[in-house]
Chain A
Amino acid sequence: MRPGDSATRNDALCPSCDRFIGPADVCPYCGEDSARQPALKILRRAAVVFGLLGVGTLYLMARLQAIPVTRISAISPQMNFARICVAGTVTGRPYVSAPGGKVRYLSFVLDDGSGRLRVIADGQVARDLAERGGPPAIGARVTLSGSLRIAADGYPAVYLRSAAAVNWENLQPPAASGGSDAEVSETSGSLQNLPSPAMSAE
């Protein structure tokens, strides 16, 4: 079986010297043009151009698009992993876990009148928020955006992606020891004495 036999596509052979050239536009043996349909050549260039333009367009759309405020009662399982914006009031005692004095985790519950939602920050975001004076105290009006997670028990929670995504009024810094508005744990980091998040009925 040789190049040019039926097992090899003619489009892959040079029309001048009959040697295999694959997708090359110019034959490396005789220098002649492959003379094949330009569709694939056009498609190749179009793919690069549209890929670049497309990503650019999506990027601009993502940056310019405002995140709409979502009512907690409107949260559904399909919204798992969605970026949402929620506004409400802090209810219950916020919680901070700071083993060894380094803030690793904090959370509080938000109520927007239609339901309740737990807001969680961990790692660097938690530290940044603590430096800003967070978590917000009970009764504070909060507007935030974050990533929604629907847990196995069906309860939603919002994970903050950055401390700058949280804004609140009536800021009260948490005290370091007992009797404060925030429950602070410096040892095990386990959740203690927190109100269970009561979700809205759908």
Chain B
Amino acid sequence: MKGIAHFSIGVAVASCFPSVVRAGADGNPLGFLLGGIFGLLPDTIDFKFTRYFYRHDLEVVPDPLRPNARMTADAVALAINRAYETGRAVRIKLAPVRLAADAWRRYEVEFDVPARKVNVRFGPAVDTSGNELSERWGGAATEAEAALTAPIKIEYFARLTIDAFDGPVLTMEPQSDGRIAVKFIPWHRTWSHSLITSFLAGLATTWWLGPIYGAVVGGAHAAHVLTDQIGYLGSSLFYPFQRERVSGWRLAASSGAAVNLVAVWSASLLIFWNLCRNMNPAPAGWTGARLALYGLMIPALLLAALTRRRLRAHRRRVADGR
């Protein structure tokens, strides 16, 4: 989920507490602020601190002028093979390829599990948002593959795309069954995304500010953790008792526009509803059912109708061979 979805959900969690709403009406923003901040905090910790301390053993920095797919494929294969030979985890960083202020050379690393090889393809130039820029930037695609001596196990996606801003760190970790597990950005969603951390954060806040704020902090943090489970990567839900990431439920991609908009919109409706029902007197005619109908169900039906139309058009295009 994008940050704004997590933040909104955190604020919505805070709004579920009547005392927070009353305090807000009296000029105290702390409850809502804590909800939003702790709703976003797990990713803030990971992406602004943790990743800069996660050391790697190999770093691949493709040349922007002469991207070498062979070198990249060999480096990834080396990491896996070394992990297999030494029995110790090897970390490899794949750096992005920057062409201009807003242009990056996209490349893909694909793990072919049955064939035991890794393919690397350097593709088109893209902007920061991932849109292709082939009009300004040429460059033929280059491709290479490298063989692996070890069987591998994929924990995230078999094909990784590296384009804007930063590239991933992969940890090649030997497993007890002899395979090498390819772990994607292993520094992400560990202790920061644990429900134990949510509990401890709530406990600390309770000691400092009181039980209501403690519940807000713990709830907002936990909401972030559970919302992330909707995706694919998963989190170490019970770190430190269980360090492996629990795989996500794979219901939606975290960067999807629709899922983020639905999350933000639903959180906003919940906030509005909580503000309404804590008013004395509550605004006439604004019931939860009516809000759910006009605010959620009707827009959802419209969205579904629009999406179905698009899906039908897409299927027609595919069938026509376009």
Contact = CB atoms under 8 A, between A and B. Distances in A.
B296 to A, nearest CB: 37
Contacts of A20: 64, 98-101
A16 to B, nearest CB: 12
Interface in B113-160: 136-139
A2 interface: yes
Contacts of B137: 1-2
Contacts of A8: 100
A3 B101 CA distance: 11
B100 A29 contact: no
Contacts of B318: none
A19 interface: yes
A195 interface: no
Contacts of A2: 65, 99, 137-139
B138 A1 contact: yes
Contacts of B276: none
B61 interface: yes
B65 A22 contact: no
A2 B98 CA distance: 11
Nearest to B136: A1
Interface in B50-70: 61, 63-65
Contacts of A4: 65
Nearest to B101: A22
Overall SS of chain B's interface: loop
A1 B65 CA distance: 11
B65 A12 contact: no
A18 B65 CA distance: 8
A1 B137 CA distance: 4
Interface in A1-42: 1-4, 7-8, 12, 18-20, 22, 29
A12 B101 contact: yes
Nearest to A7: B136
A20 B139 CA distance: 16
Contacts of A22: 98, 101
A3 B136 contact: no
Interface in B61-81: 61, 63-65
A29 B100 CA distance: 14
Contact of A12 (B64, B100, B136): B100
Contact of B64 (A1, A3, A7): A3
B105 to A, nearest CB: 10
Contacts of A12: 100-101
Given A3-B99, A8-B100, A12-B100, A19 B65 contact: yes
Nearest to A4: B65
A8 B98 CA distance: 13
Given A8-B100, A12-B100, A22-B101, A3 B65 contact: yes
A1 B105 CA distance: 12
Per CB-CB distance, the 10 closest pairs between chain A and chain B, nearest first, are A1-B137, A1-B136, A19-B64, A1-B138, A20-B100, A20-B98, A8-B100, A20-B99, A22-B101, A3-B99
25 contacts: A1-B136, A1-B138, A2-B65, A2-B99, A2-B137, A2-B138, A2-B139, A3-B64, A3-B65, A3-B99, A3-B100, A4-B65, A7-B136, A8-B100, A12-B100, A12-B101, A19-B63, A20-B64, A20-B98, A20-B99, A20-B100, A20-B101, A22-B98, A29-B61, A29-B63
Given A1-B138, A19-B63, A20-B101, 9 more contacts: A2-B65, A2-B99, A2-B137, A3-B64, A3-B65, A12-B100, A18-B65, A20-B64, A29-B63
